[in-house]
């Protein structure tokens, strides 16, 4: 089989890339190792920057998002029982959209299949070949047979643990990595959110986050050890700790039935380059951010926007400038998002290694943000999203 762009991975990045290429007359085939049911049901983050919301809407896949998503015009920072609201709308004229990632995946799959797009689920044994040449190809197994996909471009959208990044020779790669000394214990609960907007709480016992997936489903997190044993956390203990860390005058946390819980380690990671020959890395295949700044999915969408913009003139007229600059262009935004995510994480979490001096500096930084329009604006500007292409 032959196509113009072979896409490895049917997450948001791979599916959005396939959809945008289709809208511009460029053919693609998406290969996904998991089943459709698994991909469509995988729960992930759900805070969309306004530029990403607009990208989905302009691409014709935002109808359900606009109907079911929750537009948030601010976020609450809580410390020592006091709240400060960062007013996105007043400071930037923008908002963020809370809409679950698995619904974005469902919307994109439906759009691709309705348009006759090819998504091959349960494609096993995928390998990328001759990526440094002008005739790359992908070998995979599907329906019990080994097959070959010849393509002009390969897009690696298969996540941090996928094969794409390692298909770039090790001697040509450089990685930047930081592992944080804590993780997040996250839960999904069948209970209406106890706040209309996200609450980021800095507490002496550790960070906590109140988020949501819908008007009836809450998503909450607790800072914990990176190797925390979830078996030691009963539902009652989780709600007690959340109530303590999120406590504030006039605020009441509404417990509910916990339907999912797990521990996620925290890390920052960037792999350079993001392109090698005809192979281009997108999303988690190239970079990971701690979730504090809500940037993971948004960075993946920005990578898609950059690559789509570059592929259109390359396929239509053989123009190479934008394609050759793909990695450099993406990394300008990636490193700004890394900086913001690191800063938010460092600002709000409790570090065991911190001295009393360093804890006081954290408090002073929060106090500065609360009292400075300029500092609040900088936070808001980064949270709602820098332009997709910088």
Check if 102 is active-site. Answer: no
Interatomic CA distance for residues 376 and 56, integer angstroms: 28
Active-site hit among 95, 287, 295, 349 = 295
Interatomic CA distance for residues 72 and 146, integer angstroms: 48
Nearest to 203 by CA among 87, 359, 334, 371: 359
Check if 200 is active-site. Answer: yes
Q: What are phi and psi of 81, to 5 degrees?
A: 80, 10
Active-site hit among 19, 51, 72, 136 = 72
* Whole-Å CA distances, 301 to 13, 213, 217, 255, 337: 6, 20, 25, 34, 13
Q: What are phi and psi of 89, to 5 degrees?
A: -65, -45
> What Rg do the C-alpha atoms of the chain give, in angstroms?
21
160 burial class (0-12, 13-18, 19+ CB within 10 angstroms)? middle
CA 231 to chain centre: 27
Helix or strand (DSSP H, E) at 66: helix 63-68
75 forms beta bridges with 86
Active-site hit among 180, 200, 276, 326 = 200
Torsion sign, CA atoms 109, 114, 126, 268: negative
- For residue 230, what are its two tokens? 């979830």
Active-site hit among 100, 291, 326, 349 = 291
Strand bridging mode 5-8 / 28-31: parallel
Check if 383 is active-site. Answer: yes
- For residue 306, what are its two tokens? 């950059």
Between the two ends of the chain, the Cα-to-Cα distance in Å is 36
Please give the positions annotated as active site: 72, 200, 291, 295, 383
């Amino acid at each position: 089989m032959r196509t113009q762009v072979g896409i490895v991975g049917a997450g948001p990045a791979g599916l959005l890339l396939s959809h945008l290429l289709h809208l511009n007359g460029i053919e693609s085939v998406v290969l996904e190792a998991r089943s459709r049911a698994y991909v469509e049901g995988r729960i992930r983050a759900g805070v969309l920057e306004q530029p990403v919301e607009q990208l989905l809407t302009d691409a014709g896949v935002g109808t359900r998002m606009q109907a079911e998503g929750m537009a948030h015009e601010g976020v609450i920072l809580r410390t020592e029982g006091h709240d400060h609201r960062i007013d996105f709308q007043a400071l930037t004229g923008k908002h963020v959209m809370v809409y679950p990632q698995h619904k974005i995946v469902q919307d994109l799959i439906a759009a691709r299949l309705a348009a006759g797009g090819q998504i091959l689920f349960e494609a096993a044994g995928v390998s990328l070949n001759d990526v440094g040449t002008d005739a790359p190809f992908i070998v995979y197994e599907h329906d019990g047979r080994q097959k070959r996909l010849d393509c002009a471009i390969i897009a690696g959208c298969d996540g941090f643990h996928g094969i794409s990044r390692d298909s770039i020779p090790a001697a040509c790669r450089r990685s930047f990595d930081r592992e944080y000394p804590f993780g997040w214990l996250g839960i999904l609960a069948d209970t209406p959110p106890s706040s209309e907007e996200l609450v980021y709480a800095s507490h002496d016992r550790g960070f906590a986050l109140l988020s949501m997936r819908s008007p009836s489903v809450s998503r909450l997190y607790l800072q914990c050890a990176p190797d925390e044993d979830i078996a030691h956390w009963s539902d009652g203990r989780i709600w007690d700790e959340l109530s303590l860390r999120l406590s504030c005058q006039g605020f009441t946390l509404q417990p509910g039935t916990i339907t999912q819980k797990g521990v996620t380690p925290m890390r920052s990671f960037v792999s350079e380059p993001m392109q090698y020959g005809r192979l281009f890395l997108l999303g988690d295949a190239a970079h990971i951010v701690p979730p504090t700044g809500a940037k993971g999915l948004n960075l993946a969408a920005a990578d898609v926007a950059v690559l789509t913009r570059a592929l259109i003139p390359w396929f239509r007229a053989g123009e190479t400038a934008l394609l050759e600059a793909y990695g450099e262009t993406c990394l300008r935004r990636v490193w700004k998002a890394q900086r913001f995510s690191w800063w938010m994480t460092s600002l709000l979490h409790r570090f065991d290694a911190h001295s009393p001096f360093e804890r006081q500096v954290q408090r002073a930084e929060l106090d500065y943000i609360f009292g400075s329009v300029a500092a609040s604006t900088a936070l808001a500007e980064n949270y709602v999203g820098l332009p997709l292409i910088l």
